[in-house]
Amino acid sequence: MSKQRTPDGPPPPPVVQRLRLRYAKRGRLRFTSHRDFARAFERALRRAGIPMGYSAGFSPHPKISWVNATPTGVASEAEYVEIGLAVRCEPDDVRRALDDSLPPGLDVLECVEAPAGGPSIADLVDASSWEIRLPGVEPALLEKALAAFVAAEEVPVERRTKDGVRRFDARAPLVTSSVSSEPGPDGPCAILRCVVRHVTPAVRTDDILSGLCSVEPELAPPAPPEARRLAQGHLDDAGRLADPLGVDRALSS
């Protein structure tokens, strides 16, 4: 068969350090899709001169592993990514350099070194905490809807995916929830905070919302809801989320 062309020169240097980063997607840049962000992140790494580890071959890819990206249009304070470096760096220098390289609104908040041989980030997160702001919705109405939602055995919802319409239960993954409110320019703004387990298919904030609307037909938000991921982590028995970088941070300090 064909003789394989191989790149001239030595293979890429091995990864000597793994760093875990928490970043935020805020404001208008919440409309960045995950693919868009991934591309922008790779370019930011190059601009910042981070000594990335690369895969071998003619199409070398930087060593980057992603977990659980939020959907396009949903803001987040807690996205995680792990990168493999070919030269050891001070984690906070990497954080600062990357944050400076990314536009305001895509903000790198934390960077810690991952221990060799430890669990992957994906193993450290199994639930997220969300905030869903509903401008123009009376908090009492949202509370009524939430009570009906929580009381239900099952809240079937539908979502259009590229493989057609999927139907699944939005109730079971909901762990904790509460309603608060804030005055807004067009009347009150009801705020739902909830912790939702990561399941397959993923139950997203728009699924929770469509579930709420289905159990309480009066609930019809007049303006687009604003959803934001507040945290991700491992769910403990008390319904709290353990910080996925907590252990690494403790180890490195």
Binding site for other proteins (CB under 8 A): 1-2, 5, 7-9, 28-29, 31-33, 35-37, 39-40, 42-47, 49, 51, 54, 58-60, 72-73, 101, 103, 105, 223-224
CB 16, min distance to other proteins, A: 16
Q: Which is nearer to other proteins, 8 or 237 (CB)?
A: 8
Phi-psi region of 164 (alpha: psi -120 to 50; beta: other; left: phi over 0): left
How far is the first Cα of the chain from the last one, in angstroms, to the nearest whole number?
54
Is the backbone peptide bond immediately before 201 cis, with ω within 30 degrees of 0? yes
As a whole number of angstroms, the distance between CA 85 and CA 73 comes to 31
Q: Which is nearer to other proteins, 2 or 253 (CB)?
A: 2
- Supply 22's token pair: 């928490």
Write the DSSP string, 128-182. Answer: EEEEEEEET--HHHHHHHHHHHHH-S--EEEEEETTEEEEEESSTTEEEEEEEEE
CB 92, min distance to other proteins, A: 20
Q: Which is nearer to other proteins, 49 or 217 (CB)?
A: 49
Q: Which is nearer to other proteins, 59 or 200 (CB)?
A: 59
CB 142, min distance to other proteins, A: 19
CB 152, min distance to other proteins, A: 26
Q: Which is nearer to other proteins, 62 or 233 (CB)?
A: 62
CB 164, min distance to other proteins, A: 18
- Strand pairing category for 226-235 and 75-85: parallel
